[in-house]
Structure 1
Amino acid sequence: MDFQSWPLAIGAPRTPTVKAHEIYSTVDPSVVTQMLDWFRDNDRNVYKSALASLAQSRKLRLVFIQKKPVPEQYAWILKTLKSKQSDTIGEHLMQAWLMAGHQDMLAKFCDEVGIEHDGKGSVTGELPAELDAAKLDAAVDALLADFDPKVVTLYLTVFNLQVPGGWQTLTEKLDSDERLSLS
């Protein structure tokens, strides 16, 4: 996944140069908390590695950050992920969280729109040239019925980047559906 040409789903016109740090600047902090909680509970090594990399990028000793209470660590992490120099780390965290922590959501979306996948949401075949608007509407409704709308929006935004320029129907859906907002 390449954030170099990310369109951002925030109701404003999409720009072709949105970076990971801009996503973190826009996304509701509760989504970042969910992501960090997931890593602390399910893959502590990724959490520790991200914390160490972010501390190093700020020329801080890791122990300085580790001594902070978890809510203060999270606030510091989010503040740091909003920095341009943290794009790569932030990008990897989002990718890992969506692919490992939300397999059921990814698989449900693929099933709803008719995209071949491995049962965990990783696409195995070719991505379609177009997404059927009716299937997409049904998929979005199904996802929003079962999952946090902000996480759904993040996933759909990321998924839309899998083809250059995104899918027109998905771009329009992200722009027009008031339920789909990162903030």
Structure 2
Amino acid sequence: MKAYELFTAADPALATQMLDWFREHDRNIYKSAVATLAQSKKLRLVFVQKKPLPEQYAWILKTLRSKQSDTIGEHLLQAWFMAGNQDLLAQFCDAMGIEHDGKGSVTGDLPAELDAAKLDGAVDTLVAAHDPKLVTLYLYVFNLQRAGGWDTLTAKLASDSRLVLA
């Protein structure tokens, strides 16, 4: 799934959680993303900023669901996971045996293949410790890090009933 498809399929509460996190922890990214999205729709930033927050979020989510917003959507998801969900990323990397900096940022190359048994264990660990919808979204975003994704992860996302976006 591409980022715009993830925003379409995911529970809107996850997008709200992400936007809230950026507003609280990194307003520059929030403002830059809104400006980029507004510009892509040929709107002035102030048009979006003047809306009440629930309307801003609704507009942002609607815009992120469009194919033309795929790149900015993917960048937002990556930034949110890298900065706001480091424990989840670190737990996944640890369970998969992927070298990382302690915060979930991979320090070497991504593996060519993902071991199915390790992946099963990683998913069990993550679902026990985090919201399954958040885990699912992360796994889809992780799968975007390699052209075509990993067959093992794609199959796991399709077959595990705990891994649903909405």
Instruction: Report the TM range for the smaller structure's normalisation.
Output: over 0.9
Select which of 73, 76, 79 maps to 1:93.
Answer: 76
Number of aligned residue pairs = 166
Identical counterparts, % of pairs: 75
The superposition leaves residues 40-84 of structure 1 with CA deviations (integer Å, 9 ceiling, x where unpaired) of 010001111111111122122222211111111100100111122
What letter matches 1:103 in structure 2?
Q
Correspondence for 1:181? 164
Select which of 24, 31, 39 maps to 1:41.
Answer: 24
Separation in structure 2 between the aligned mates of residue 22 and residue 169 of structure 1, nearest angstrom: 20
Q: Residue 98 of structure 1 aligns to a residue in which SS?
A: helix
5 Å matches for 1:67-146? 67-146=50-129
The superposition leaves residues 104-152 of structure 1 with CA deviations (integer Å, 9 ceiling, x where unpaired) of 1000001011111111111112322332222211110110111121111
CA RMSD of aligned residues (A): 1.4
- Classify 1:167/1:85 alpha carbon distance in 2 versus 1 (closer, same or farther; 3 Å): closer
Separation in structure 2 between the aligned mates of residue 161 and residue 82 of structure 1, nearest angstrom: 17
Q: Residue 105 of structure 2 aligns to a residue in which SS?
A: coil
What runs of 5+ residues in structure 1 fail to find an aligned partner?
A: 1-7, 9-18
Separation in structure 1 between the aligned mates of residue 136 and residue 73 of structure 2, nearest angstrom: 17
Q: Residue 60 of structure 1 aligns to a residue in which SS?
A: coil
Structure number with greater CO (CA < 8 Å, separation at least 6) is: 1
Taking structure 2 as the reference length, what is the TM-score of the superposition? 0.93
Separation in structure 2 between the aligned mates of residue 167 and residue 84 of structure 1, nearest angstrom: 23
Q: Residue 144 of structure 2 aligns to a residue in which SS?
A: helix
Alpha-carbon distance, 1:163 to partner = 3.3
Correspondence for 1:65? 48
Alpha-carbon distance, 1:91 to partner = 1.6
Q: Residue 120 of structure 1 aligns to a residue in which SS?
A: coil
